[in-house]
Amino acid sequence: MKLIRATAAACEAMAYAHATAFDEKSWREDEFDDLLDGAGIYGFLADDDGQPLGLILCRMAAGEVEVLTLGVTPQARRRGVGLALMIAALEVAREARLAEAFLEVAVDNDGAIALYAMLGFEKSGLRKAYYDRGPAGFTDALVMRLDLTAAAA
Ligand SMILES: CC(C)(COP(=O)(O)OP(=O)(O)OC[C@H]1O[C@@H](n2cnc3c(N)ncnc32)[C@H](O)[C@@H]1OP(=O)(O)O)[C@@H](O)C(=O)NCCC(=O)NCCS
């Protein structure tokens, strides 16, 4: 497995990984393309010999980084791909001397919350009814924060 820095050339594979990783509405290739043109946007694609395994996309702004999306295809889970993507993305933020990382995660997403906690993220807030799950209703999001100036977990 290798991590490839997200560029326009990786958008098709990132859209595939996103669609495979998420049950909900996935982001199209052209949406990734537009996002990557945005200020402070960066990310990585996890690739196994041409097979997309997962992706991460982040946005740096005002001394912070926000994780916009992280997804790993079901077949590739629990093999350290998500952790590797997070570590690579946080390393970029630390190199840029950003102070904090933030992300939102559904309150019932125990696996992702465990992954973020492993990296040192702590709960810092709650956004009520943040995720629209259609007929299943709305789900709250936890806001999680990591102090990037502290030693890496
Ligand atoms: C959450 C997600 C990105 C994790 O990716 P992954 O590659 O499977 O995670 P890793 O293998 O790197 O896991 C690292 C650690 O995180 C924790 N973890 C990850 N998934 C877990 C799960 N389903 N249940 C419990 N702990 C989990 C474990 O501590 C794990 O270490 P271990 O396998 O040695 O026990 C992946 O399950 C996914 O894409 N889910 C759907 C999309 C999603 O929820 N994205 C996050 C939105 S905020």
At 152, the pLDDT band (50, 70, 90 cuts) reads low
Q: What is the pLDDT of residues 114-124, one digit of tens each?
A: 999 999 999 99
Q: What is the pLDDT of residue 153?
A: 61
Alpha carbon distance 147, 116 (integer Å)? 12
Residue 152 within a domain: no
User: Mean pLDDT, to the nearest integer, of 134-140?
Assistant: 91
Residue 153 within a domain: no
Residue 93 within a domain: yes
This model's pTM is above 0.95: yes
Q: What is the pLDDT of residue 133?
A: 86
Residue 82 within a domain: yes
Q: What is the pLDDT of residues 19-53, one digit of tens each?
A: 999 987 889 999 999 999 999 999 999 999 999 99
Segments forming the whole domain that contains residue 88: 2-147
Residue 52 within a domain: yes
Residue 70 within a domain: yes
> What's the total number of domains in the chain?
1
CATH of the domain at 140: 3.40.630.30
Residue 76 within a domain: yes
Of 55, 152, 63, give the one whose Cα is nearest residue 101.
Answer: 63
> Residue with the nearest Cα to atom 7 of ligand 1?
82
What percentage of residues in the chain have a pLDDT greater than 70? 98
> Residue with the nearest Cα to atom 4 of ligand 1?
82
Q: What is the pLDDT of residue 90?
A: 98
Q: Which residues line ligand 1 (CB under 6 A)?
A: 21-22, 70-72, 77-83, 105, 109-112, 114-115, 118
Distance 151 CA to ligand 1 centre (A): 22
In the chain, which ranges are continuous DSSP H helix?
Answer: 11-21, 29-36, 81-95, 110-118
